[in-house]
A and B are shown apart, each in its own frame.
Chain A
Amino acid sequence: MDETQLAAALKSGDPAAFEALVRSEAGRLLAVTRRILANEEDARDATQEAFISAFKARNQFSGESKVSTWLHRIAVNAALSKLRSQKRRPEESIEDLLPRFLPNGHYARPYAAWAEPVDEALARKETARLVRDTIDKLPESFRMALLLRDIAGLSTAEAAETLGTTPNAVKLRLHRARLALRTLLEPHFGGAPA
């Protein structure tokens, strides 16, 4: 469905039209909720809740943004709401996963180039799963900054608002999350072991 058809289906409230909208957009929304919630059942629940919220709020859709963008935002919020309701893991330190330096500011060890380009490695399903599982190992606040910025595609301001923190805190957490993820991926991508 194109944007005009999506908007018409949303506004009409007609069951058949809305089902067509669900079939058109559910894959993208499920991808978004899977990025935030590690558990498949939770991701499906959040996707369902997102469509219910969208249906109830359909008269509030102003048409200023695309329907797909509006639905994306609703799905992110549904997934975050579910995440907040779950028992949180205690926040672990990220310091051990950050690069180390000598007193003169040089790296404490040399770095070897990774053996295979990432896009080629990701073509294998097991590598994509390994990356997802590795992201899940990051301490919670850093994982969320990475998920919202690099994966769900929110702006720094949107991620800060969603997480109830400042843009600068999001930037710092995002940077540290990327550094930590690099360390965790390094042994799998063929560089020197971390």
Chain B
Amino acid sequence: MTCREMTEFLREFVDGELPPEVKLEFDTHVAKCQDCVVFLEQYRATIQASQGAFGVPHDVPEELVSAIMKALEQAR
């Protein structure tokens, strides 16, 4: 397996969808390729960054609650 092929299989690897025989080749390549170790780490970190960048607001804007309740009253 080459770095290009490792990169193509990254999503399946991270999402746990690689067939066992391909995963074996994937693991073998990563074990001896430092660039791929770093790239795999950064691919995972990118997913983590996406997921972590959107926090759940603790305070719901009061004007939003008022607007929703007013709209609901009209919808009844």
Contacts and interface: CB of A to CB of B under 8 A. Distances in A.
Contacts of B46: 178, 181-182, 185
A119 interface: yes
Contacts of A56: 75
A94 B10 CA distance: 17
B38 to A, nearest CB: 4
Contacts of A185: 46, 49
Contact of B39 (A23, A111, A189): A111
B69 A19 contact: yes
B64 A48 contact: yes
B56 A27 contact: yes
A18 B72 contact: yes
Contacts of B57: 27, 30-31
B22 interface: no
A77 to B, nearest CB: 17
Q: How large is the interface on A (under 10, 10 to 19, 20 to 34, 35 or more residues)?
A: 35 or more
29 contacts: A15-B73, A19-B65, A22-B65, A26-B60, A26-B68, A27-B57, A27-B58, A28-B56, A31-B57, A44-B61, A47-B68, A48-B68, A55-B72, A55-B75, A104-B2, A105-B3, A105-B4, A106-B2, A107-B39, A119-B52, A122-B49, A128-B54, A128-B55, A131-B49, A135-B50, A150-B47, A174-B11, A181-B50, A182-B42
Interface of A: 15, 18-19, 22-23, 26-28, 30-31, 34-35, 44, 47-48, 51-52, 55-56, 99, 101, 104-107, 110-114, 117-119, 121-122, 128-129, 131-132, 135, 146, 150-151, 171, 174-175, 178-179, 181-182, 185-186, 189, 191
